[in-house]
Structure 1
Amino acid sequence: MEATETNKDILRGGQFLVKETACEDIFTPEDFTEEQKMMKEAVIEFNDREIVAHRDRFENKDYALTEEVMRKAGELGFLGVAVPEAYGGLEMGFVSTLLTCDYISSGTGSFSTAFGAHTGIGTLPITLYGSEEQKKKYVPKLATGEWFGAYCLTEPGAGSDANSGKTKAVLSEDGTHYKISGQKMWISNAGFCSLMIVFARIEDDKNITGFIVENDPANGITMGEEERKLGIRASSTRQVFFSETKVPVENMLSTRGNGFKIAMNALNVGRIKLAGACLDSQRRVTTTAVKYASERKQFNTPIANFGAIKLKIAEMSTSAYVGESATYRAAKNIEDRIAMRVASGNTHQEAELKGVEEYAIECSILKVAVSEDIQNCADEGIQIFGGMGFSEDTPMEAAWRDARIARIYEGTNEINRMLAVGMLVKKAMKGHVDLLGPAQAVASELMGIPSFETPDFSEVLSEEKNMIAKLKKVFLMVAGSAVQKFGPALDEHQQMLMAAADILIEIYMAESAILRTEKNIKRFGEDAQKEQLAMTKLYLYHAVDIISIKAKESIISFAEGDEQRMMLMGLKRFTKYQNMPNIGAMRKLIAEKVTAENKYPF
C-alpha cells in the first residue's frame, strides 16, 4: 500500500461543519505524487486510444466493444488499482483509486458505467466483506479482467427502499446450498458478467442477505433484453431472473441478514467514485466547448469573445475546479483514515470498510454536487454549440444524455440529500460530531447585540474564510432549530431536510475550494493563482445566494413571530459581505485564461 502521512489533524466525517480545517491539512490535485502523475498520464492515454477514439461505436450500442475495452483495462491493471496485492491487485491508496476512476471515465458514459460497476459494487463487496476463501477464489479473476462483476440489488418494487426486495433465498433440505428466486432490474454489466453480487431475503428476516452467484444460464439464470436507455447506450443493462438458482452456502457474503449493510457501504464508495467519474467529463466538455467557441465566428468575431459565452465558460470551469477540490480532499481523508486504522492493528479489510464509512456524509455530498455540475456543464456545452450541439454529429449531445444517469444511480440525489443530513444528526447523537454546543452558541449570538466593528480582511481569502464560518452558523441555526422543533419526526419533513442538505453541500464545496486555493497561493504565489482565486470567490458568491434562499425557505416554513424575525435577521447578518466581489470581472478573467489555453487548464 502507498505510504501516507498520518501525523496531521484529520477531522472525522461531518466535523468540517464545526471545526476549522487548516489548508495545510488538505490534499489537492497539485499534491499528486510522481507515481500518481504517471498513473494519470497512462489512464488518459488509454482513454484517448481505446475509448474516445471509438465514441461512435459506443453510441451505436457496441456492447462487445465495451467488454473488449474492459478486458484491456484489466490487462493494464486498471481494474485492480484498489485490490490488495495478495489478490492480484496493485493495492494503491484511495486517492490513486479515485484518480484512475476520474480520468478513465470521461470517454463515454457507457464505459464509465461498466468500469464503475465492476471495480466498485461488483468487486468491493467481496474485498470488504468476503471470507479469505471467497477473496482468494474470486478477487484475482475480477482484478485482472478475466471475470467481470455485476451487482443485483434493485427490483421492480425495491429501488430507493433497497431493503424491501422480494427475492428469496431458501436453504436446501440437506443444508448445502440456497435456492434463489426473484427478479432484479437495471443490472449494469449483466450481458457479460461472470459473477453477480445478489441480495435476497432468507425466510422472513428483517434484512436481506448478500450472496456471490456465478453466472451460469444452466443454473436457473435468465436475462432480459438489453434496456433501451436515454444514455450510456453501450453499457449492458438487463433484467436478471433467478429461478431456484443454486448457490453453495459458502457463497453467502458476510453473515445472514447483513446484506443491507453491505449494500449501503458499497454505495458509499460508489458515491465518491461517481463524483470522481464526473470530473474529467467536466474538463473535457469545457475544453470541447472552448475550442468550438474559439473557432465559431458570428458577426465576424469568435463567439468566445462575447460576454454571454465568457459567462458560460467561467461557470463551467469553476464547477470543475470546485468539484476537483472537494472530491480529492475527501479521498485523502478516507485514505488517511484507512492508514490510521491499519497502523492501529485493523486488517486492510476492516480499515477500508470503516475508513469509507467514516466519511459517508461527504460521499453523499459529493455525489449530489458533482453529478449536478456535470449535467449543467454538458447543458451549457450544448448551448455554446447552438444548433450543432443538438446534433449527434457533435459530442455534446451524448455527453448531456450520459450525464443524466449520474443523478439517479448510487441512490438518487434526493435520497442522498436526506441521507447527508440524517447521518450528520445521527453522528451528533452518538457524540461523534458536536452539533449541540455550536448550535447553542449560535442561538446565544442571535440573542446578543451584534458587533459593529469592521473586521480586517487585508489578507488574501480572509473575508471568504470568515464567510464560510458564518455560513456554518446558518446551518447550525436552521438545523438546530428544526431538530429542537421536530425531534424524531424530522425525517417526515423532507422539504426541510432537502433545504438543509443544500446548505451543507454548498458549505463543503465552497470551503474545499477556498482551502485548495489558499494552500496553492502559499506555495506558488498569488499571481500564479489569480484565476483560481477568482473561481473560488465566484463559487462562494453563488453558494451564499443558494444558502440564503434555502435557509429563508426553511425558517418561514417552521418558525413564526419573534422567532422567525430573529432568525431572518440572523440570516441577513450571516450572509452579508463586507466587500462584494466583482462577479463580471472574475468571470472575464477566468474565461480569458481558459480561452487563451484553448482548454480547461487548471
Structure 2
Amino acid sequence: MTEKVSEKVIGGSFVIGDADSTSILTPEDFTDEQRMIAETTQDFVEGEIVPRDEEIEKLNYGLTVELLRKAADIGLLGADVPEAYGGLGLDKVSTTLIGEKLAKASSFGLSLGAHVGIGTLPIVFFGTPEQKKKYLPSLADGSKIAAYCLTEPTSGSDAQGAKTTAVLSEDGRYYTLNGTKQFITNAGFADIFIVYCKVDGKHFSAFIVERTMDGVSIGPEEKKMGIKGSSTCPLILEDVKVPAGNLLYEIGKGHHIAFNILNIGRFKLAAGCLGASKEAIEISAKYANVRTQFGRQISSFPLIGKKLAEMNTRTFLLESMLYRTTGLIDDSLKDIDLDQADSGAESTRRIAEYALECSINKVFGSETLDFVADHGVQIHGGYGFIQEYRIERIYRDSRINRIFEGTNEINRLLIPGTLIKKALKGDLPLMQRAMGLQQELMQLTPSMPFEGLLEQESHLIGMAKKIFLMIGGQAVQKYQTKLENEQELLSLLADIMIQIFAMESAYIRTKKQIDRAGADKAENFIRMTQIAVHEAFDAVEAFAKEALSYMESGDMLRTQLSILKKLTRRTPVDTVGLKREVARLVIANESYVV
C-alpha cells in the first residue's frame, strides 16, 4: 500500500497513507462495560418501546414523553451529559452503541436521539457553566425535553441564509427574536429549543429558548412519509424576549456550534442506520426461511441468498467505518474539561478534525440502509408492501436519512472540500503527494502475483489511493479556485474517498481479527472483505473513468486512461462463491453475521 501514518490520526489522512491498525477501533475491541450498556439499551427498547410501537406511531405526545422519562431513569438521556451535571458522562463509543440499539425503537428512537444529540450537546460543548447548571440536569433526567432549530422555510442546507433575527435591547438585558423554524423534531412537546438566528440580521448566533417564553408558539404537525410517531412542527417566534445570558457561545459563532454538532449528528445517524440495517437483515432472513415457493423455502434460491449476502456485507462495512470514526472522535475529545472557559473553542477544533469522516459515515450509512431496506422489501415480495410487515416501516422510515443532517449531496461536496481546505492549511501533504505521484505513475510496472492472505486486497486499497491522488491532483491543477463550481467532479472524488474509507476499514478490522483469533476464526470477515474490496475497486475505477472523461479528451485522455489501466490490474475473485458462503451463514443464523 502507501506510506504509513502514525501517532495522532489526522482527519482525511487515510487517502494519503496507511492507517496504523493499533489506532483503529473495531467492534471486537468493545469493553464489557460498553457491551453491557448496549444490552441495557436493547432490553429497554424490546421491553418498553416495541410493545407500544403502534401507539407511539399514532403520535401520542404523552406516551413519548413518559417513555423518554423512563429512558432517563436508566441513564439513556444523560449518557452524553457530564457527571457534574447529573449525567453519566459516557464515552462516545458507548453513546454510539446506544444510538445503534435505539434503531429498533423507530420513531421513538428519533425522538430520543434528537433530544440527547443535537438538542443537548450544544449546551454540553458550548454552554457557559451557568447555562450547564441550569439546563443539563433537567435534560438528563427527562424533566425537560430538547429540540434543535436550524432549518427555516427558505433555508435548509444553506443554514447561514437564516432569516430569523435577534436584536439586543437598549439596556442589554435581553434579545428579541423573530422568525419561523421549520421541520423541528420534538417541537410538539419540547421544553428547550436551541435556536439559530442572526443578531442584527448579520451575525449568525445561537440561543437557548424556553417554550414558556412569551411569543413562542408551535405550528401544526407535518404529515410525513415515515417516522410518523415523531413530532415534526414549525417553531414560531414573535417578539420573544430571550435573556442575554441565554446566548450560546459567542455572537457570530453560531456556525461553529451548528456545524460541529451536525458532525456528531452525522455519525450518530449512521449508528441508527446500522441498527436498522441489522434488523432488516434479521427479519428478511427469517421471512425467507418460512416463505415457500415452488415447493421450497425461498432462502434456498441463490438470488435470495445473494441479496442477503450483499445486505450483510454492506452492513459489515458500515459497522467497520462507524466505529473506526467513533474511536477517533472519542480519543480526540476524552481529555477536554468541559468546565473550562475555552472548552467550546477546543471542542470545535477537535470535532471538526473528523468532519470529513462524519460526512462519509452519513452518506454511506443512509445509502446502505436504503439498499438493505429495498432488498428486504424485495425478499418479502408483495408482503413487503403491506404495513402489517415490519420491513415496510423500515423502508419508509429510511428515506429521511439521506436528507437529515445535511443532504447527501451537500455532504458529498463537503468531503473533498474539507480535504482540500486541510491541505491548503498545511495539515495534510495532499498536493505534495499528488505531485510526487506523477513520476511514479509513468514508471509503473505490472504487479507481482499475490499469494498471501488478503495481499491483493491490501494492494488494491493502495492503488485506489493512488487513483484518488491522480484524479484529485489533476482536478485541482485544472480548475484551481473554480473547482468548487465543478460539483459533479467533486461528487466523484467524494465517492472514491467513501469507497477507500469503506474498504480500508473492513480490511483493518479483518486483519485485527486474524491477529486476535486466527484466520480460521475470521473466515467470514475475510470473505466479506474480499467481496467489499473488489466491488469497491470496480466502483473506484468507474468513478475515475467518468472524471477523466470529463476533464480530458483526445490524446491526453487516452494517456490518462492508459495510466489508470495500469493502476487497476488485478485478478478477479469469485464473488459469487464468496456471497453464497456469506448467505449460508446469514440464513442459518437468521441474523446479521460477522
Please give the TM-score of this superposition, normalised by the length of structure 2: 0.96
Aligned 8 A contact 1:222 1:240 in 2: yes
2:7 matched to which residue of 1?
9
Q: Give, in whole Å, the separation in 2 of the partners of 1:341 and 1:72.
A: 30
Q: Give, in whole Å, the separation in 1 of the partners of 2:299 and 2:343.
A: 50
Residue 215 (structure 1) aligned with residue 211 (structure 2): yes
The CA deviation at 1:346 is 9.8
The correspondence for 1:149, drawn from 146, 149, 163, is 146
Aligned 8 A contact 1:338 1:354 in 2: no
Residue 111 (structure 1) aligned with residue 108 (structure 2): yes
The correspondence for 2:330, drawn from 332, 335, 350, is 335
Aligned 8 A contact 1:195 1:213 in 2: yes
Q: Give, in whole Å, the separation in 2 of the partners of 1:292 and 1:437.
A: 53
1:584 matched to which residue of 2?
576
The correspondence for 1:491, drawn from 484, 489, 494, is 484
Measured at CA, do residues 453 and 481 of structure 1 come closer, stay the same or move farther in structure 2, by a change above 3 Å? closer
Please give the TM-score of this superposition, normalised by the length of structure 1: 0.95
1:3 matched to which residue of 2?
none
The correspondence for 1:540, drawn from 521, 533, 551, is 533
The residue correspondences of 1:475-490 to structure 2 (distance < 5 A) are: 475-490=468-483
Residue identity in the other structure for 1:212: I
Q: Give, in whole Å, the separation in 2 of the partners of 1:350 and 1:518.
A: 37
Residue identity in the other structure for 2:171: D
The residue correspondences of 1:154-233 to structure 2 (distance < 5 A) are: 154-205=151-202, 207-216=203-212, 219-233=214-228
Partner secondary structure for residue 158 of structure 1 = coil
Measured at CA, do residues 348 and 594 of structure 1 come closer, stay the same or move farther in structure 2, by a change above 3 Å? farther
The CA deviation at 1:435 is 0.6
Aligned 8 A contact 2:57 2:230 in 1: no
Aligned 8 A contact 1:378 1:400 in 2: yes
Aligned 8 A contact 2:91 2:334 in 1: no
Aligned 8 A contact 1:180 1:246 in 2: yes
Partner secondary structure for residue 209 of structure 1 = strand
Residue 82 (structure 1) aligned with residue 80 (structure 2): yes
1:399 matched to which residue of 2?
394
Residue identity in the other structure for 2:446: F
The residue correspondences of 1:198-597 to structure 2 (distance < 5 A) are: 198-205=195-202, 207-216=203-212, 219-339=214-334, 352-448=347-443, 450-452=444-446, 454-455=448-449, 457-577=450-570, 579-597=571-589
Q: Give, in whole Å, the separation in 2 of the partners of 1:441 and 1:188.
A: 49
Partner secondary structure for residue 105 of structure 2 = coil
Residue identity in the other structure for 2:166: A
Aligned 8 A contact 2:41 2:101 in 1: yes
- Which stretch of the first structure deviates more once superposed, 527-536 or 479-488? 527-536
Q: Give, in whole Å, the separation in 1 of the partners of 2:466 and 2:446.
A: 18
Aligned 8 A contact 1:339 1:351 in 2: no
Aligned 8 A contact 2:273 2:366 in 1: yes
Residue identity in the other structure for 1:159: G
Partner deviation per Cα, 1:154-203 (whole Å, 9 max, x = no partner): 11111111001111111223221111010110000001111000111111
The CA deviation at 1:29 is 0.6
- Which stretch of the first structure deviates more once superposed, 438-447 or 377-386? 438-447
Q: Give, in whole Å, the separation in 2 of the partners of 1:453 and 1:418.
A: 34
Aligned 8 A contact 2:457 2:530 in 1: yes
Aligned 8 A contact 1:378 1:399 in 2: yes
Aligned 8 A contact 1:169 1:201 in 2: yes
Q: Give, in whole Å, the separation in 1 of the partners of 2:487 and 2:187.
A: 34
Residue identity in the other structure for 1:68: E
The CA deviation at 1:322 is 0.8
The CA deviation at 1:51 is 2.0
Q: Give, in whole Å, the separation in 1 of the partners of 2:378 and 2:447.
A: 46
Measured at CA, do residues 350 and 459 of structure 1 come closer, stay the same or move farther in structure 2, by a change above 3 Å? farther
Partner deviation per Cα, 1:418-477 (whole Å, 9 max, x = no partner): 0011000000001111111221122212223x213514x222111111100000011111
Q: Give, in whole Å, the separation in 2 of the partners of 1:192 and 1:453.
A: 62
Partner secondary structure for residue 556 of structure 2 = helix
Partner deviation per Cα, 1:218-237 (whole Å, 9 max, x = no partner): 61011111110000001100
Residue identity in the other structure for 2:175: Y
Aligned 8 A contact 1:338 1:351 in 2: no
Q: Give, in whole Å, the separation in 1 of the partners of 2:560 and 2:163.
A: 47
Q: Give, in whole Å, the separation in 2 of the partners of 1:211 and 1:342.
A: 22
CA RMSD of aligned residues (A): 1.6
Q: Give, in whole Å, the separation in 2 of the partners of 1:291 and 1:340.
A: 45
Residue identity in the other structure for 2:496: I
Aligned 8 A contact 1:10 1:333 in 2: no
Partner secondary structure for residue 518 of structure 1 = helix
1:4 matched to which residue of 2?
none
Residue identity in the other structure for 1:214: E
2:3 matched to which residue of 1?
none
- Which stretch of the first structure deviates more once superposed, 351-360 or 389-398? 351-360
The CA deviation at 1:367 is 0.3
Measured at CA, do residues 442 and 309 of structure 1 come closer, stay the same or move farther in structure 2, by a change above 3 Å? same
The correspondence for 2:124, drawn from 124, 127, 138, is 127
Q: Give, in whole Å, the separation in 1 of the partners of 2:427 and 2:155.
A: 32
Aligned 8 A contact 2:442 2:563 in 1: no
The CA deviation at 1:49 is 1.3
Q: Give, in whole Å, the separation in 2 of the partners of 1:333 and 1:346.
A: 24
Q: Give, in whole Å, the separation in 1 of the partners of 2:65 and 2:38.
A: 22
Partner deviation per Cα, 1:83-133 (whole Å, 9 max, x = no partner): 11111111111111111111122221x122212211111011111111110
Residue identity in the other structure for 1:72: K
Partner deviation per Cα, 1:353-399 (whole Å, 9 max, x = no partner): 43321100000000000110001111111100000000001001110
Residue identity in the other structure for 1:177: Y
Q: Give, in whole Å, the separation in 1 of the partners of 2:82 and 2:142.
A: 15
Residue 48 (structure 1) aligned with residue 40 (structure 2): no
2:134 matched to which residue of 1?
137
Residue identity in the other structure for 1:166: K
Partner secondary structure for residue 572 of structure 2 = coil
The CA deviation at 1:341 is 5.9
Partner secondary structure for residue 153 of structure 2 = coil
Residue identity in the other structure for 2:102: I
Measured at CA, do residues 340 and 139 of structure 1 come closer, stay the same or move farther in structure 2, by a change above 3 Å? closer
Residue identity in the other structure for 1:105: A
Q: Give, in whole Å, the separation in 2 of the partners of 1:516 and 1:119.
A: 29
1:5 matched to which residue of 2?
none
Aligned 8 A contact 1:89 1:143 in 2: yes
Q: Give, in whole Å, the separation in 2 of the partners of 1:252 and 1:483.
A: 40
Partner secondary structure for residue 545 of structure 1 = helix
Measured at CA, do residues 351 and 525 of structure 1 come closer, stay the same or move farther in structure 2, by a change above 3 Å? farther
Aligned 8 A contact 2:256 2:348 in 1: no
Residue identity in the other structure for 2:261: A
Partner secondary structure for residue 78 of structure 1 = coil
Aligned 8 A contact 2:299 2:305 in 1: yes
Aligned 8 A contact 1:98 1:273 in 2: yes
5+ residue gaps, structure 1, are: 1-7
Partner deviation per Cα, 1:28-81 (whole Å, 9 max, x = no partner): 111110101111110111111122222222333333332222221111111111
The CA deviation at 1:539 is 1.3
May I ask how many residue pairs the two structures share in their alignment? 588
